[in-house]
């Protein structure tokens, strides 16, 4: 095989990384332990860095090996997805999908989109959970999650950005008449604020200080773990809050909420579709992810 081939040795490397030993990888590939070791050595020489720490009893990935494995798995997923899309465009999709999403955004924006997406495939069964807490996808029975905000780095998760939204600080007109309209971040110390909880919407607000993004933690007059409840509390005049614009757009348009501090609220919040890295995607999950991306491209999630 041409050793300049960029794919040479990758299948052996992935098998060895997954198996944990060269012997087990050789058994899976029909190769000897020695052949596996030589293939890995040639790959390391071509790459210019070590992929494994080797001892007589233990074979484990180096930090470079971990990063390279994540890149290889991602590339293999894309190839598998392309094969699935090209070979089964007329496939009847079926099976269960558990999708977890934020409460307000999920009910108002995602749910109608998902109904449109699965309608052509009545064999797909949805289990939908609505929570503003961050679910552990590796522990819970979740196939796909929609998440706001920055994602923690993890080689165990795959993410695709769907959209980004403005963050809005707002309050009811009645509240602003009673307590006044803040003109600066410093003014917030004199105001009543509604925030999330440690397991729900955030406790801190994202702001811009000059040209730099930062966090501001207001005095928590009220703490609520549900995004819809945050909006209801603000409409009732209990204080100021910050949320993505999709959650308050209708209330602002109806005059029930009024935006303030628009020059410091931000930066925009990203929305991602996230799923556990469990090998190639099932056709139904690939279909739903692709359709969500297509819907997002129309601006429906902005």
Instruction: For residues 293 and 274, state if they share a domain.
Output: yes
For residue 13 the two structure tokens come to 């490397």
Condensed to tens digits (0 to 9), the pLDDT of residues 59-109 reads 788 989 888 988 888 777 777 666 655 544 556 788 899 999 888 888 888
Does some domain include residue 2? no
Residue 256 has pLDDT above 60, yes or no: yes
Tens-digit pLDDT profile for residues 71-83? 888 777 777 666 6
Tell me if residue 161 falls in helix, strand or coil: strand
Q: What is the DSSP string of 184-241?
A: SGGGGGGS-EEE--TTSS-SSEEEEETTEEEEE---EEEE-S-HHHHHHHHHTTS-BE
Paired tokens of 71: 């890149």
Number of domains in the chain: 3
Give a yes or no: residue 5 inside a domain.
no
Residues 30 and 103 in one domain: no
Tell me: do 204 and 252 sit in the same domain: yes
User: pTM of the prediction?
Assistant: 0.63
Least confident of 19-28, 117-126, 132-141, 175-184: 132-141
Alpha-carbon distances of 221 from 36, 206, 217, 240, rounded to whole Å = 62, 18, 12, 10
Residue 179, CA distances (Å) to 216, 224, 251 in order: 20, 21, 20
Share of the chain above pLDDT 90, in %: 35
Report the pLDDT value the prediction gives residue 2, as an integer from 0 to 100.
Answer: 46
Least confident of 22-36, 81-95, 118-132, 254-268: 81-95
- The CATH number of residue 135's host domain is 3.40.190.10
Instruction: List phi, psi (to 5°) of 287.
Output: -60, -50
Q: In angstroms, how far is the first alpha carbon of the chain from the final one?
A: 49
Whether residue 281 sits in one domain with residue 133: yes
Helix/strand/coil percent split, the chain, to 5? 40, 25, 35
Domain that holds residue 109: 92-163+270-297
Residue 302 lies in a domain: no
Burial zone of 264 (CB within 10 Å; 0-12 exposed, 13-18 middle, 19+ buried): buried
| pLDDT computed for residue 93 by the predictor | 84
* DSSP at 51: -
For residue 209, give both structure tokens.
Answer: 């200080």
Q: Is residue 150 domain-resident?
A: yes
pLDDT at 168: 93
Query: What is the reported pLDDT for 202?
Result: 82
């Amino acid at each position: 095989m041409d050793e300049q081939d960029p794919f040479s040795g990758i299948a052996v490397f992935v098998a060895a990384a997954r198996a944990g030993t060269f012997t087990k990888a050789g058994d899976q590939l029909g190769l000897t332990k020695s052949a596996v070791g030589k293939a890995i050595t040639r790959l390391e020489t071509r790459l210019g860095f070590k992929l494994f720490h080797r001892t007589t009893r233990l074979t484990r990935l180096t930090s470079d090996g971990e990063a390279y494995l994540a890149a290889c798995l991602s590339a293999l997923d894309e190839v598998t997805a392309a094969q699935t899309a090209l070979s089964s465009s007329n496939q009847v999709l079926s099976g269960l999908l558990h999708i977890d999403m934020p409460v307000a955004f999920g009910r108002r924006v995602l749910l109608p989109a998902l109904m449109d997406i699965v309608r052509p495939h009545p064999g797909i069964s949805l289990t939908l959970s609505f929570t503003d807490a961050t679910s552990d996808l590796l522990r819970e029975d979740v196939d796909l999650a929609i998440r706001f905000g920055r994602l923690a780095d993890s080689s165990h998760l795959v993410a695709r950005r769907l959209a980004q939204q403005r963050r809005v600080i707002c309050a009811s007109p009645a509240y602003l008449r009673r307590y006044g309209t803040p003109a600066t971040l410093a003014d917030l110390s004199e105001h009543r604020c509604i925030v999330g909880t440690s397991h729900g919407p955030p406790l801190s607000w994202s702001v811009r200080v000059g040209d730099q993004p930062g966090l501001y933690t207001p005095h928590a007059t009220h703490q609520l773990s549900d995004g819809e409840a945050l909006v209801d509390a603000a409409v009732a005049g209990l204080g100021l809050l910050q949320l993505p614009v999709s959650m308050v757009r209708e209330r602002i348009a109806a005059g029930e909420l009024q935006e303030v501090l628009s020059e410091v609220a931000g930066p925009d919040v990203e929305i991602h579709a996230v799923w556990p890295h469990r090998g190639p995607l099932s056709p139904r999950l690939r279909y739903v992810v692709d359709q969500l991306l297509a819907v997002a491209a129309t601006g429906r999630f902005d």
